[in-house]
Amino acid sequence: CGSFLDKKALSNFITVLWNIWNSRNNKVFRDTEEEAKITWDRAAALSKDFCIFNIMEKPMIPKPVVEKGWKKPGHGVVKINFDAAVNGQKMSFGLVAMDHDGFVLGWRAGFLDRNVQAEWVELHELAESNNLARAKNWLRLAGVRI
Domain residues of the chain, as ranges? 2-56, 79-135
In this prediction, residue 1 carries a pLDDT of 43
Assessment of whether the complete model's pTM goes beyond 0.75: no
Q: What is the mean pLDDT of the chain?
A: 78
- Please state, in angstroms and rounded to a whole number, the distance separating the CA atoms of residues 49 and 95: 44
Q: Is the pLDDT of residue 13 over 60?
A: yes
pLDDT in tens, 66-101: 777 767 788 888 888 888 888 878 888 888 888 888
Q: Kindly state the DSSP code that residue 83 receives in the 8-state scheme.
A: E
Predicted pLDDT at 2? 47
Give pLDDT, residue 146.
43
Summarize pLDDT for 33-70 with one digit per residue, the tens.
888 888 888 888 887 777 666 555 666 667 677 777 76
Contact 130, 97 (CB under 8 A): no
In this prediction, residue 92 carries a pLDDT of 83
- How many angstroms from the chain centroid is the CA of residue 47? 23
Q: Give the separation between CA 1 and CA 97, rounded to whole angstroms.
A: 28
What mean pLDDT do residues 105-122 have? 80
Report, as an integer, the average pLDDT of 105-133: 82
Residue 3 has pLDDT above 70, yes or no: no
Helix axes 36-56, 2-30, angle to 10 degrees: 130
